[in-house]
Amino acid sequence: MLPMMLVLAILLPLVAAVGCYFLRVSAIRSLIVLATGVVLAAVSLALLGQGTFTYSPGTIVGISWDSLVTLADFALLFVMLYYAFKLKNQMIKIFVILQIIPLAVFEMFFVDHAVETPAIFADSLSLIMVAVISIIGSLICFFAIPYMKEHEEHLHLVKSRQPQFFFFLVLFLGAMNGLVLSNNILWLYFFFEVTTFCSFMLIGHDQTQIAVKNATRALMLNALGGVAFVFGMIWAYAETGSLDLQVIIQAGPMGGLMLAPLGLLCLAGFTKAAQVPFQSWLLGAMVAPTPVSALLHSSTMVKAGVYIVLRLAPAYAGTFLSQGVALCGAFTFLACAAIAVSQSNGKKILAYSTISNLGLIICCAGLNTTWAITAAIILIIFHAASKALLFLCVGTIEHGIGSRDIEDMHGLYLKMPRTAVITIVGVLTMLLPPFGVLLGKWMAIESASGDMFVITMLALGSAVSLVFWARWAGILLTAPLRDKVPAESQSVLTRLTLTALAGIAVVLSFFSPMLYTKLIEPMVGKSFEITAGVFASPMGVFAVYPIFIILAAAFIYSWIETKKSATDKSSATYMCGANVPETGVQSFIGPMNSPVELKASNYYMKEFFGEERLTLWVNFVALALIVLMLGGAL
Amino acid sequence: MKTIILIILGIVIAPVLGGLIAGLDRRLTARLQSRFGPPLLQPFYDVAKLFGKEKVVSNFWQVFCAWIYLIAAALSVGLLFAGSDLLLVFFVQAIGAVFLVMGGLSTPSPYSQVGSQRELIQVLTYEPLLILVFASIFMVTGSFRVDEILAYEQPLLVQLPLMFIVLGYALTIKLRKSPFDFSTSHHGHQEIVKGILTEFSGPYLGIIEIGHWYETIFILGICALFWHTSLVGCVLLIASTYFAELIIDNTMARMTWRWMLKYVWSIGLAMSFVNLIWLYAG
């Protein structure tokens, strides 16, 4: 049963991807994507019920899986090298060669191939990741079906490029599942490279000049991460003589010698999770069609980076490296949230907020207490749901109004009430209690409170994120609005995915105490007593059920009051009494008695938070912090 | 059971106390300005009158947001009285703050729009300071739980004198006092149009006023934690702090939000650092 489930989780997406590529009929492709998604989701839940396990796949037709992975790995690296030559990018060439040569030397002369290393290991962390990838990732793939159809209509393509698109999109899910389930570090490295390559292909999908440029940058920075990974892996093998990730983690606390390889592996995680100063590739990734952004930002790719840092956390607990990781993460959290305040491009706000939240998760890994690790896992789960939802909302809005600028979203409720409300739900689940993201943030802040620098950065970062979220939710409602607005029409799959993701973000938050006791506590250890849905420890309490129930009642009551207000008198918008008298016109009488249309826009505070103003300094400080972190490890 | 009683007690008493404080505020302010001032219960008369007015709205989401603002503010006070977690209570309070801003943004009036944006800047200014105050309380007492903090045997003021001043900045902003009253002013002494509250009227404005009373009690309650060991000390501390607020309000003019953000963050962070380093060293 178990091997079957693993095959479905990792290899089914590969088979489905090939199917999507060759069976070039849109109906069959949609069916393949839907079926794969449903199976993946079911398998991920079944695996979650399975609990911790270790597994070695052995051989297939006389060849060991290990050699197959190695073979595929070199094939992939040479494909990347081909693209490096095609794109004429010197840096990528150097970075890829710096992976090929050490890896070849390592495989041929160092690795003892006689030693059996269990290829697959799963604990709660891996299984939660598999569930996040398979469920949220599949929902994003569903959304992509109607989205890509519209997208290609907008672009007036003669020949559909969807087969290739869905090939990489579906393959990505399998690669991610492989990555989080791998125990053999060579396997982990292989899947790490597959995600790099898939994201490169997906970012460049539209093949515009900017898409190619940004895809190249993504490949370059992630190849740099790959180099750090290869050297970290070889060094770790030199110290421990094992490819077994669990052995490497257990060897961590034994000596200071292990810190350097661990630091390099964390660095690889940082590049993949787009931490400052490597953020530019993820910001560039927003040129890709929306489902790609949603996938990269929520359940895959960046979560791979976070996963590696978090997976290794026990190995560097209590060391200087751990403190360095916490500082780097906290700094990213603050810096990216601050820059997000100055942005008006909806996708860019989301991108910066993603990097910022990943920083928070990495900071938790660095804090390295049971409490902080719990926070990190909770953040991974709920951030994925809310962020996927928000990206898909921006995609839907963009198709609806032709813009992703939040200034153009003033009064969106009048045009797209359903999407507007779901977007607001998405924003609130990112921002407010009793939802999961805030539960994680609460744990993070409380566990960081002993560290002066980290807590200051978290406090500032948390405040700046409130600014860009709250105003976005607010302006969607800006309109003189008294009557019910009829809901806009949406394709079934769009509505289904948006509703499902919003449902996951809200309903799963309600079950966060159960998630904790069933999945997180057995793995990381107990830090809270749960009674009646209240997280309690001598240090703090978070009453999930009571607050949830009271607020649900409050929302229902407020909605009833709102319904009752339908009979209230309408007031004209206040403009100092200078309103243009015609009804339905939002203008005032200006100079020369001519009407002036109302226009209000957000405060972007560019003199404090401007991207141009901050980026250079942020990168500089971040680089210094990384040097500090690695230097301390050496 | 005890918790529930405490929550209900908090929710019932807080608006009464908050209203009385608002009345006292108006009388004392009047005296400072050599006026006689309204009766002590004037805020209650005002709110009662607001509830008697005709309901007028410009966007139905205003109604929703006003109610959520009130309920979240009441809930945060209830949780504070019940001895819950400081950080949690603060985040529940933030629900109210966010919905007030959404209510303000829901109408196109430029006054309301600008007021809401400024309200966000005010939140941006005080939120990090409050989180640092809570973190410092944690460093002294080892807990974020109000019930555990109350069990600590020494007044927090002794170890956290500078943090109390930092809290004072947050208090001034939250009470909408000069020089930090950008989004709307507590007293109408320097604005003609009512900022974020421009488009709220009648009963809905009354709801927001009661919510504001809750918030006053919320933040004064946190001040009270700094001298929780004696009732007299506690009352003395709150009374002198509030009086200091009145003096500041009446001697300062409204400044710009840029100035507020720079000034409060730099002074607030500097004082927090110094105080936290004292704790480390001590």
Distance CA B109, CA B177 (A): 24
Question: For the segment A546-581, what is each residue's pLDDT rounded down to a tens digit?
Answer: 999 999 999 999 999 999 998 889 888 888 888 888
Q: Which pLDDT score, from 0 to 100, does residue B185 have?
A: 81
Q: Which pLDDT score, from 0 to 100, does residue B130 have?
A: 95
* CB within 8 Å: B98 and A554: no
Burial tier of A597 (Cβ tally within 10 Å: 0-12, 13-18, 19+)? exposed
Question: For the segment B26-68, what is each residue's pLDDT rounded down to a tens digit?
Answer: 999 999 999 999 999 999 999 999 999 999 999 999 999 999 9
Cα angle: A448, vertex A454, A459; to 5 degrees: 85
Cα angle: A298, vertex B92, A513; to 5 degrees: 55
Distance CA A361, CA A329 (A): 7
> In the A/B pair of chains, how many CB contacts fall below 8 A?
223
Q: What does the pLDDT average to over A224-238?
A: 94
Assess A110–B contact: CB distance below 8 Å, yes or no: no
Residue B241 three-state SS: helix
Start-to-end Cα distance in chain A: 45
CA of A567, closest CA in chain B: separation in Å?
A: 9
Question: For the segment A535-551, what is each residue's pLDDT rounded down to a tens digit?
Answer: 999 899 999 999 999 99
CA of A118, closest CA in chain B: separation in Å?
A: 43
Cα angle: A188, vertex A194, A198; to 5 degrees: 150
The answer to whether residue A93 sits within a structural domain is no
* CB within 8 Å: A542 and B85: yes
Positive or negative, the CA dihedral B217, B219, B225, B226 is negative
Q: At which residue do the structure tokens 């976070």 appear?
A: A306
Q: Which pLDDT score, from 0 to 100, does residue A383 have?
A: 95
Contact A476, A409 (CB under 8 A): yes
Residues 6+ apart with CB under 8 A from B109: A573, A574, A575, A598, B58, B198, B199
Residue A632, pLDDT > 80, answer no
Q: Which pLDDT score, from 0 to 100, does residue A634 have?
A: 67
* CB within 8 Å: B106 and A460: no
Q: At which residue do the structure tokens 């489930």 appear?
A: A5
B183-188: long-range contacts at Cβ-Cβ below 8 A with a sequence spacing of 24 or more? Answer: B183/B115, B183/B116, B183/B118, B183/B119, B183/B121, B183/B122, B184/B115, B184/B119, B185/B254, B186/B25, B186/B249, B187/B26, B187/B29, B187/B249
DSSP per-residue string spanning A455-504: HHHHHHHHHHHHHHHHHHHHHTT-S-B-SPPPPPP--HHHHHHHHHHHHH
Give the best-scoring range by mean pLDDT among A295-299, A307-311, A536-540.
A307-311
Rounded to 10 degrees, what is the CA torsion of A86, A92, A98, A99? -80
Distance CA A244, CA A183 (A): 6
CA of A400, closest CA in chain B: separation in Å?
A: 21
Residue A286 half-sphere exposure toward CB, CA atoms < 13 A: 19
Q: What does the pLDDT average to over A36-50?
A: 93
* CB within 8 Å: A565 and B57: yes
Nearest neighbour of B102 by CB, restricted to A445, A477, A598: A477
CA of B235, closest CA in chain A: separation in Å?
A: 27
Q: Which pLDDT score, from 0 to 100, does residue A254 have?
A: 62
pLDDT band at A367 (very low <50, low <70, confident <90, very high): very high
Q: Which helix (H) or strand (E) holds A597?
A: strand A595-597
Other CB atoms within 10 Å distance of the CB of residue A296: 29
Q: Which pLDDT score, from 0 to 100, does residue A212 have?
A: 95
Assess A452–B contact: CB distance below 8 Å, yes or no: yes
Assess A559–B contact: CB distance below 8 Å, yes or no: yes
Contact A32, A23 (CB under 8 A): yes
CA of B47, closest CA in chain A: separation in Å?
A: 19
Among A47, A37, A44, CA closest to A17? A37
The answer to whether residue A629 sits within a structural domain is yes
Q: Which pLDDT score, from 0 to 100, does residue A293 have?
A: 92
Q: What does the pLDDT average to over A358-377?
A: 95
Q: What does the pLDDT average to over A43-57?
A: 89
Q: What percent of chain B has pLDDT over 70?
A: 99
Contact A393, A474 (CB under 8 A): no
Start-to-end Cα distance in chain B: 40
Q: What are phi and psi of B252, to 5 degrees?
A: -110, 155
Nearest neighbour of B91 by CB, restricted to A433, A460, A565: A433
* CB within 8 Å: B59 and A463: no
Q: What are phi and psi of A23, to 5 degrees?
A: -85, 90
Contact A321, A259 (CB under 8 A): yes
- Within 8 A of A605 by CB-CB distance, chain B residues are 121
Bridge-based pairing state of the strands A595-597 and A587-589 = antiparallel
The answer to whether residue A409 sits within a structural domain is yes
Distance CA A296, CA B132 (A): 34
Burial tier of A74 (Cβ tally within 10 Å: 0-12, 13-18, 19+)? middle
Contact A613, A606 (CB under 8 A): yes
Question: For the segment A157-205, what is each residue's pLDDT rounded down to a tens digit?
Answer: 888 889 999 999 999 999 999 999 999 999 999 999 999 999 999 999 9
pLDDT band at B188 (very low <50, low <70, confident <90, very high): low
Q: Calculate the alpha carbon distances from A494 to A42, A291, A477, A518, B91 in Å.
A: 21, 11, 22, 32, 32
Average pLDDT, rounded, for chain B: 93
The answer to whether residue A342 sits within a structural domain is yes
Question: For the segment A232-275, what is each residue's pLDDT rounded down to a tens digit?
Answer: 999 999 988 889 999 999 887 766 788 889 999 999 999 999 99
Print the domain residue range for A419: 323-512+590-634
Q: What are phi and psi of A182, to 5 degrees?
A: -70, 140
Instruction: Provide the CA A402 distance to its chain's centre, in angstroms.
Output: 25
Put simply, the chain A residues between 131 and 160 with a CB less than 8 A from any chain B CB are none
Q: At which residue do the structure tokens 């407020």 appear?
A: A558
Q: Which pLDDT score, from 0 to 100, does residue A571 have?
A: 87
Contact A603, B123 (CB under 8 A): no
Domain count, chain B: 1
Distance CA A3, CA A183 (A): 15
**A466 vs A115, higher pLDDT:** A466
Q: Which pLDDT score, from 0 to 100, does residue A24 have?
A: 87
The answer to whether residue A634 sits within a structural domain is yes
Assess A415–B contact: CB distance below 8 Å, yes or no: no
CA of A389, closest CA in chain B: separation in Å?
A: 20
Q: How many residues does chain A have?
A: 634
Residues 6+ apart with CB under 8 A from A13: A36, A40, A170, A171, A172, A173, A174, A175, A177
- Within 8 A of A575 by CB-CB distance, chain B residues are 109-110
Nearest neighbour of B132 by CB, restricted to A456, A481, A565: A456
Print the domain residue range for B185: 2-281
pLDDT band at A531 (very low <50, low <70, confident <90, very high): confident
Contact B199, B58 (CB under 8 A): yes
The answer to whether residue A549 sits within a structural domain is no
Is the bond leading into A277 cis (omega within 30 degrees of zero)?
Answer: yes
Average pLDDT, rounded, for chain A: 92
The answer to whether residue A622 sits within a structural domain is yes
* CB within 8 Å: B142 and A480: no
Q: What percent of chain A has pLDDT over 90?
A: 74
Q: Which pLDDT score, from 0 to 100, does residue B189 have?
A: 66
Q: Calculate the alpha carbon distances from A126 to A13, A171, A356 in Å.
A: 18, 18, 23
Among A100, A76, A73, A75, CA closest to A184? A73
Contact A91, A220 (CB under 8 A): yes
Domain count, chain A: 1
Q: Which pLDDT score, from 0 to 100, does residue A553 have?
A: 96
Is the bond leading into B179 cis (omega within 30 degrees of zero)?
Answer: yes
- Within 8 A of B88 by CB-CB distance, chain A residues are 433, 442, 540-543
Q: Which pLDDT score, from 0 to 100, does residue A255 have?
A: 65
Question: For the segment B119-160, what is each residue's pLDDT rounded down to a tens digit?
Answer: 999 999 999 999 999 999 999 999 999 999 999 999 999 999
Q: Which helix (H) or strand (E) holds A587?
A: strand A587-589
* CB within 8 Å: B88 and A541: yes
Question: For the segment A91-109, what is each residue's pLDDT rounded down to a tens digit?
Answer: 999 999 999 999 999 988 8
Residue A122 three-state SS: strand
Residue B191, pLDDT > 80, answer no
Distance CA A122, CA B38 (A): 70
Q: Which helix (H) or strand (E) holds A59?
A: strand A59-60
* CB within 8 Å: B199 and A557: no
Burial tier of A159 (Cβ tally within 10 Å: 0-12, 13-18, 19+)? exposed
DSSP per-residue string spanning A513-570: HHHIIIIIHHHH----EEETTEEE-SS-EEEHHHHHHHHHHHHHHHHHHHHHGGGSEE
Residue B262, pLDDT > 90, answer yes
CA of A470, closest CA in chain B: separation in Å?
A: 6
Residue A508, pLDDT > 90, answer yes
Q: Which residue of A has its CA nearest to B64?
A: A558
Q: What does the pLDDT average to over B15-21?
A: 96
The answer to whether residue A422 sits within a structural domain is yes
